[in-house]
A and B are shown apart, each in its own frame.
Chain A
Amino acid sequence: MTLSALVGRYWPTAALFALLLALWQLAVSALEIRPYLLPSPAMVWNALWQAGFSWWPHLWITSLEIVGAFFMAAIVGVALGTAVAWSPLVANALMPFLVFVNTLPKVAIAPLLLIWIGYGILPTMVMGALIGFFPVVINTAVGLSQVETDMLDLGRVFSAPKWKIFLKIRIPNALPYILSALKITATAAVVGAIVGEFVASQAGLGYVIANTQSSMNTAVAFASLIWISAIGLALYGVVVLAARLWAPWAEGVE
């Protein structure tokens, strides 16, 4: 997209955003709303850079947890999805368990994870992975199975062994499906990381938010939210880019 096309497409969004910011700032000063209820945009902006502490360790920890959760979900999801697609027997055995795990409210498992895994970033990663792995399992299984019969016949004509058909036909066929699920996983990893930090943590953006409750520093909570969505958007963007790069034939497949 050229710059002028970008401007043409996004100026309404930018204009609305600016308008809302202006209204917010006006409302806060005109109605004299107390900062612990609703800080002004200017205060949030300040908190984004100077919060009275360094953001870096928190940004680092939370990013690490999110990326870790994402890769855990991706690897486990693809592995389970492949197992499900490989044989109907495995699918019948596994699916009820996976559906069960998926329907569990993950927040409720968080204390258990702490007991089993201990404190630190690992239980938080596992939390994010638990929230985000299921769509990957399903899309991997669907992408590997939904191959045109004609394509499989093509493989049979050349007496290709099952693993080769998997490698050369089924896996490429599944790639757009998997990448599409990973967009959901990227968002889920963020949720998981923050929930995990709420339950127990010594650092991270979720920890910062939880602590603003006692310090009444609402501007810092807002600033944390902005950092979290920045990390989330960055990860989402990377997945979208990867999809363009690795599955250019599937542009538009969602």
Chain B
Amino acid sequence: MSTSLIDLQKVGMTYEAASGPVEALADISLRVGTGEFVSLVGPSGCGKSTLLRIIAGLRPATKGMVEVTGEQVTRPIPDIGMVFQAPILLKWRSILRNVLLPAELAGRDAGKLRDRALALLDMAGLGGFAEKLPRELSGGMQQRAALCRALLLDPPLLLMDEPFGALDAMTRDDMALELLRIWGETSGARKTVLFVTHSIAEAVFLSDRVVVITPRPGRVAADIAIDLPRPRTVELRASEAFGRLNFDVFRALTGRAG
């Protein structure tokens, strides 16, 4: 494995909720190498979103050690693309200005990135919606706009929380291929991606590794290497190896042995 970009050791997270403490993550140890594409799958409520927030430095873990690029994470880490589970578009801004928001917040020249933003929207099939307000778009379209926003500054690390959750099956498969292209599957310089999904097939299709998390409190149930050839193609979905890996992940997820 290449040098590890993300390094989690025995990470635990307990929320202090009004009704008492909620242990979201029990004991997560995980390494993600630079340029790796790793998916997280697990039942709802097992702490996947929590884990992404911890890695991004948005919430401190209550236990364990979190390092990104060899440094302890104590506050929001710079140069990441984050796709939250909800689109979180600013409802007063047009789609284009939402996509440009990272530039403005980070103090970069938004004017210079306008063409890039428009190209990203085109890629996501939103070319005609740049000047629309978020409420004029469907949930799936809003999610794609949020993806464009995360990609605007071309970050080397992408943390993606069910980014395709609201998309129909067809669009979803198209977006998966686009994501692989953006990730840099065929070019030399690959980004690092940590990708949360509910779809086993999507995780297997995209990833170098699929990490299965147990029901709450989350632990790593299995870490499955996906040794399928790249670049991944649509035909791959019909192959026997693809089916077998899907079944491996399914077994780990449902806790069934052999």
Contacts and interface: CB of A to CB of B under 8 A. Distances in A.
A160 B76 CA distance: 10
A51 B56 CA distance: 73
Nearest to B57: A156
Range class of the B interface residue count: 20 to 34
Interface of B: 53, 56, 58, 76, 78, 80, 82, 84, 86, 88, 90-93, 101-102, 104-107, 133, 135
Given A156-B76, A157-B80, A249 B88 contact: no
Given A150-B84, A169-B90, A249 B101 contact: no
A195 B107 CA distance: 50
Contacts of B84: 150, 153-154
A160 B90 contact: no
Contacts of A175: 92
Contacts, number: 54
A164 to B, nearest CB: 6
A151 B82 CA distance: 12
14 contacts: A148-B88, A153-B53, A154-B84, A154-B105, A156-B58, A157-B58, A158-B101, A158-B102, A158-B105, A164-B105, A165-B105, A168-B104, A168-B105, A169-B90
A247 B76 contact: no
A173 B93 CA distance: 11
Interface in A148-181: 148, 150-151, 153-160, 164-165, 168-169, 172-173, 175
Contacts of B102: 158
B49 to A, nearest CB: 10
A157 B76 contact: yes
Interface in A60-83: none
Nearest to A175: B92
A159 B76 contact: yes
A150 to B, nearest CB: 5
A155 B76 CA distance: 10
Interface residues of A, number: 22
B134 to A, nearest CB: 8
A153 B53 CA distance: 9
A156 B57 CA distance: 9
Q: Indicate the member of B78, B92, B102, B135 with the most A CB atoms within 10 Å.
A: B92
B139 to A, nearest CB: 15
A207 B113 CA distance: 60
Q: Indicate the member of B56, B86, B91, B135 with the most A CB atoms within 10 Å.
A: B91
Nearest to A169: B90
Contact of B105 (A150, A160, A248): A160
